Structure 1
Amino acid sequence: METTKRYSTGLLIAEIVAILLALLFLSPFYFLIINAFKKLREILLNAAKFPEVFSFANFKKAWVAIDFPVVLMHSLVVTSLSVIGLVVLASMMAYRIVRRPTVFNKILFTVLISAMIIPFQSVMLPLMRITALFELRGEVYGIVICYLGFGISLSMFLYHGFIKSVPREVEEAAVVDGCSPYGVFIRIVFPLLKPITATVIILNVLWIWNDYLLPVLVVNNTFTTIPIAIQKFFGQYTRKWDLAMAALTLSTIPIVLFFLSLQKYIVEGITAGSVKG
């Protein structure tokens, strides 16, 4: 005979708190979406009020003002190249460190993990000098290289924890069948890393897509991404909140759809990555 759990007062309170927290975290989306349909006058009078008339005029003006298809393509190129590079480099590096725990690899792992605690603001000036010295500023490959450098630590750390849970027996069987070391990784190990790969992709896409400071420092207006383009609506004397809200809504749609399509892998990947080696 099945037993049913009692709906206790504590459970009710916990659900109410969870709902309130969810509403709190969703409130920025409410303000973003409703203000995207308002005129500037309505936003300044009452930003929380529903628009008198839902109009798509702001979206049309913002689309043209920032040349949205072009800046969208720029963001897609930078994000795609950076994330692909991080997945390839971090997975291979983590696999080598886990399977070959030499003194050098342990020191390398420690150095990379230690780099995660360094604030970006503390390396901004050295970064500017280095990018200028190697002629990386104003180039797409320059910003991609910078993202690889700043993102490799966390990505490698996530892969490192996950690879520990991959049994060596499957690799040994592939070696017995005549598979090369690179073949073992590409054909056997990497397909098993699907959950953590999805997690690495999601985290880095969210970071790179929304990043403003690094593109401003490295590429600026030569390869305008969406965050840089939206900054055009905020001048010294004017604030075009109506167009900015519309542009932000347009830029949010691709990343929200991408996140919803892959978010189920986040918990699975991070949980598996917590296995002790």
Structure 2
Amino acid sequence: MKPQDHGRDVVLSVRDVTVVYETEEPVTAVSSASFDLHRGEILGLAGESGCGKTTLAYAVNRLHQPPARIASGSVVLHDADGSDVDVLALDEEQLRRFRWSKLSMVFQGAMNALNPVRSIGAQLDDTLRAHAPAMDRRARRARAAQVLERVGVDPGRLRSYPHELSGGMRQRVMIAMAMLLEPQVMIMDEPTTALDVVVQRDILREIVRLRDEMRFAVVFITHDLPLLLEISDRIAVMRGGEIVELDTADTLYRDAAHPYTRQLLGSFPSLSGSRGSFIRTGVHDDRLATSEEIA
């Protein structure tokens, strides 16, 4: 389907991306996916497990390994300095400089993404040493402490190991790691999976607050469509490797065009109280629903 342009400054353009797994019988995991991401926007990417959400995200960030192959399409980051970066044309060294500084990713499963035998500080330092080699040790430590504090984690936790942190704190560390070099785009793959509903809401508030402060754009991936309706500006719905619908969250909720989107909306139990005001609090009221409001 055609990407939509609402007249806002576009930071990332994805056009007709197709990803194929070269097995004995090649499998097309993503087919001709296109969307624009605007500066400061939260774009939700929804759909059932196996529909291609994470595969598309990996393609945008050039993270695929064989047998996966980007068969066609383009991914262009429109840098704040006025230049355009053709992501699919970058060599390995260019990719190393591009990742984390221009586009970063929060991976699903914080405990698995963090190294269990290295402290939080050491892992943040590794990222800075790899992607900001000009920074000295003192500057790296100061930056690590700064971003931890910004996501609501005591900088004293730099000495802690992942198993010493709660699930919510580990997820905040992953967000801090993605923010280290102030990228213009952050891809978040199921960042609140396995967290209880109260911690989930805390993390979502944090994401919205940081987006408002730093004006980075977010691609937020989840199968949880009601959650996306709550925090997203626009939502792309995927099915069978294709984006079948892309529209504003309000329009999608009130007047979804595709039968699959309507099925997704109908597959969740209704909420008590005013569903409309609950769903859009993250966008219209600059706050997210509390645990009492969703009880």
TM (norm. structure 2) is 0.23
Per chain length, whose mean CA-contact separation is higher, i.e. which structure has more relative contact order (CA < 8 Å, sep 6+)? Answer: 1
Q: Is the strand fraction higher in 1 or 2? A: 2
| Larger-Rg structure | 1
TM (norm. structure 1) is 0.24
